[in-house]
Structure 1
Amino acid sequence: MITREQIPAVLDHQVYDAEGRKIGEAGHVFLDDATGEPEWASVRTGLFGTSETFVPIHDAAMVEDHLQVPYSKDEVKGAPRVDVEEGGHLSEQEERKLYQYYGIDWGSGGRGTGTAGTAGAAGAAGGKARRRDDAMTRSEEEMRVGVERRETGKARLRKYVVTEEVQKTVPVRHEEVRVEREPITEGNVGDAMSGPEITEGEYEVTLHEERPVIDTEVHPVERVRLTTDEHTEQETVRGKVRKERIEEEEAGTSEDERRRR
């Protein structure tokens, strides 16, 4: 059973079902008018806690930092939506509807197990459960900005062969025939008279020349690789967030008068 001293630990804390699944956050605690003990809690469910449903906490327990109720998550979320009267009370009709939904016997003052229940006794006497905390909770959205890494393109190295025209100048030599004539002298007269006086003959000389010869050899000149550099830039992100405003209104004030304020 939840005691009055445990109410601060219940408010704005998580509520879990019987199987340990999170249902939502406790928004308000309602006390039984007859006993003054905690009897109901409202649980904010749905996206951003926009829905609010009621669950009995007579048989609930505080487990570490959360409230655990003996009902399933689907059962709590499927409870009838009820309106709270001015002053933070549940009407007898609304409370009876909740008792019936959760299988709690209203008329006999007992619960499903047959034992006496304070809320049941209060209902039979026409009592109402009242809310412990009647303050309004103001909430607002906070924009959270993160980054994601995505692929923007690819870069690759491709090697291919091209042929270029290369020109080099090299010296080449060749032989040409040149006829030399020398007069008969005392020094060569012996050689000149050694043969027959009148004859026919031939003398042959082989000529040579040089020609350019092209040959190639492969040798490495450089190594090429791809690397990436990371640059950081500042980018402004804009978005819209919603905020709740709480304003005081006097009873009987018209809409035009509130706008003029």
Structure 2
Amino acid sequence: MAPQKAAQEFVGHKLLDREGNNVGRIEQIYFDDRTDKPTWVSVQTGMLGRRHSLVPLQGARVNEGDLMVPFDKERIKDAPDLDVDRHLSVEEENRLYRHYGVQVPGPRRGMQDQGDAQGRHAAGAAEETGMAGRATGEHGTDTRAANARAMNAEAADARTAEADTRSGRGRADAMADEDITMVRSEEQAHVGVESRESGRAHVRKSVDTEHFEQDVPVSHEEIHVERVPLTDEDRATAGNAQIGEEDEEIILHAERAVVAKETKPVEKVRISKEKVTDVQHVEGELRKEHVEVDREADHLTEDDYRGRRRPPAG
């Protein structure tokens, strides 16, 4: 992740904790002022993404297009709340490193500038000592070396006196400015709601078989034999009847119950979701800063107090 272009490609991707849990969306990538290497990443956390957390990129690795860091989700969410839209100071960086338990990588910029100044001062002293040594070698005597050491001592005394003067002026200014201001901070709770899956309902139709019974009236035909006397007309029609065999067939009919099935829609079932509002109790702990003033022991004597409170003459 050394090139800036490659690091910027992760903006908008998910930031995963060491267990692979989604922490939030990556907002910005921060680069070191001295090395131009990606050092910090800001991510949206909290309810509805209202909070922004800074996470160090030490030990980060790519996981399926997203970025995974070696910290758990709770530690990231509890990181110090800083303004992510401005340049981070050295104190803020050290505070974040302490929160994540990460060792501060190398000297900070202010410490490096101070070390460079000390190095230049040491180089100048060595140069002066070298000049004194060369003078001693040329003339075979240590008079010039002694003079050089005396001049260096006087210059050092002058610098010390000047520093003491500046320090005295600073103490005098501090004593003159008796008002001391201190900012007291406290945590405020922003309570919101988030939607998450609480269950699922499966809607399906099933077929059940029910037994039914019903009495159905049916009819059938039977043979009925009836003997009736002949009429004159029958005798005239028959004429000379002859005796012989004769065979006739009669078809009988009978009714039976028949069941026919037919599918018809009988009702419509509508399935919908209904939102029910309930009250959930939320509690937690908020930290507040308290300002206490410890008065140091007064070194003034009673005579000094009397001298201070003595009314003016006249």
TM-score (norm 2): 0.41
Give the structure with the larger helix fraction.
Answer: 2
Higher relative contact order (CA 8 A, sep 6+): 1
TM-score (norm 1): 0.48
Give the structure with the larger strand fraction.
Answer: 1
